[in-house]
A and B are shown apart, each in its own frame.
Chain A
């Protein structure tokens, strides 16, 4: 997944565990990778 997003494993891990909020372009890339809308992946309340 990290390779497909062109980011490090550390970054994917930090996003998964909620330690880091990705930028909007990266969030859109993640949403596109899963083929789902951005709001179904990221919860603004977190």
Chain B
């Protein structure tokens, strides 16, 4: 019962994950190198996060099924890649230029610059969520709900711990900047677990 495909894409899940992992690791290397050479800790952190994400994608690629990607997911990748690449580049530009700027307005504009690709990334995620099929949407929404609740719970707990006066000194901006990466990381871990519930166990 096979019909003609609308626009068959040759990109498979496994190849896409391997590609994403490779690109992420390649993006992480200059960040790590620049961070270590200039002594900028935020660059090293960015490089480590991107490298860890890339390594996770490469690991997933090893176990993913060789299945042709549907056009909706190919479009998502086409939107996701430029946004992520733009984010890494703008983070580096912003981090390098902000301390050198005299004007407050210029500093604010430069500091907020990485938000542009993140907004594009959010748009890509909303579009894929709307356009994928009903089971895929259900799995994603369940995973996002679990990730949102876990992130909120984790950060709330983290907010309560200083009450115990255990000597932790974490700035508000450090905490705030980690909310989104934590949300995405937990979503990435939760999604395959949620998807397992709908898979046939043979």
- Give the B-binding residues of A (Cβ under 8 A): 1, 3-4, 6-11, 13-14, 17, 19-20, 22-23, 26, 33
Contact = CB atoms under 8 A, between A and B. Distances in A.
A33 B1 CA distance: 10
Nearest to A5: B133
Contacts of B3: 3-4
Interface of B: 1-3, 5-6, 67, 70, 132-136, 138, 195, 197-200
Contacts of A17: 200
A40 to B, nearest CB: 17
Contacts of B134: 7, 11, 22-23, 26
Contact of A10 (B1, B2, B5, B136): B136
Contacts of B132: 8
Contact of A9 (B1, B5, B67): B67
Contact of B5 (A1, A3, A8, A14): A3
Nearest to A13: B200
Contacts of A22: 134
Nearest to B73: A8
